[in-house]
Structure 1
Amino acid sequence: MKMERLVLVVLLLVLGCGLAHSRILTKCELINLIRNQAQQEQKIGNITIAKMVCHAEKLTGFDTSTLEEMTVGQKTWKLYGIFQFSNHMTCKEPGNHRRTTCDNLCSDFLDDDVEDDIACAIKIIKSILLTGKTPDDLLELIKEDKYFPQDCKDVTPDYLICEI
């Protein structure tokens, strides 16, 4: 009986610690967080925000700890966090010292602090808008319907309406 209780307590502690570092946002929470950060970093439009929110909802269900693997051609991608950032373009894995778009460790995108995730997403979007160029690695992912859900392609600002 004591052993069973000890096992149960340890299991609850382990699960509790794992859950403490991630969370599932609501759609309204994510909209408000993106809007707040977008105002600080030069505004991005409502259509872009709507697409960001749709992308997060369809790919991760707003779960900040989502980690996926996808194989495209010969390359295996690891996709991190609420926006599914790529280890090939956006973030670094331990031991990798090459420059990436946002220069964060990939594990930074798996915690409950989504401010760095939003900042990185805005940085990518602004870079594409300013240069008119989409990075090659991102172009590979765009071809994958799983990564860019068709439901989000024609999303409008109405998508940003929150039901309370």
Structure 2
Amino acid sequence: MKILLILSVLLAVATPKVYQKCELARVLRGNGLDGFHRYSLANWVCLVQYESNYNTNAIGRNRKHGVIVSSDYGIFQINSYWWCNDGQTLNTRNRCHKNCNDFLNSDITDDIECAKRVVRDPQGMYAWYGWQNNCANRDLSHFLDECHL
């Protein structure tokens, strides 16, 4: 019986998840992202919407001249050159000291910690093109209206 319980817990954490917007907003707020480095909760949810569409299993490939030079992982699309090690990207900086595959499951605690690390760099949220192109310098006040937070 104990083995079955342990296996079900491990599978729950290891499996990917696609969040609903308001569900994610509550998780992000509960993990201290509302106002983190002066970015509102709406900015964080907007970032996730345009980077991964709320999917913890998202992987994006970055190509130069048709060759993959790095990849982006998880709900925040954490980059393998700068922030994590995927075992494929050359000269990774791995500033979050994580394996990139750690960002592909339903437990986004480590993703959030790494996203905080990214935002503490001088670029802030400008490190993410999804945020830059869709959320930056926009009125996002309506973004979470239906969430009743």
| Letter of the 2:94 counterpart | T
State which of 51, 58, 69 in structure 2 corresponds to 1:59.
51
Query: Which residue does 1:134 correspond to in 2?
Result: 123
TM-score scaled by length of structure 1: 0.65
Structural mapping, 1:33-52, within 5 Å: 33-38=27-32, 44=36, 47-52=39-44
Q: Over alpha carbons, which structure has the higher Rg? A: 1
State which of 8, 21, 29 in structure 1 corresponds to 2:15.
21
Q: Greater helix share, 1 or 2?
A: 1
Query: Which residue does 2:96 correspond to in 1?
Result: 102
Pairing 1:89–2:72 present: no
| Letter of the 1:68 counterpart | G
Change (3 A) 1:57 1:150: same
Per-residue CA distance 1:121-150 (angstroms, 9 max, x = gap): 12221x23xxxx239xx97x65xx5x4452
Alpha-carbon distance in 2 for matches of 1:163, 1:134? 29
State which of 105, 109, 112 in structure 1 corresponds to 2:106.
112
Identical aligned pairs, as a percentage? 23
| Letter of the 2:54 counterpart | F
Alpha-carbon distance in 2 for matches of 1:95, 1:70? 12
Alpha-carbon distance in 2 for matches of 1:61, 1:123? 21
Q: Aligned pair count?
A: 133
5+ unaligned residues in a row in structure 1: which ranges? 1-16
TM-score scaled by length of structure 2: 0.71
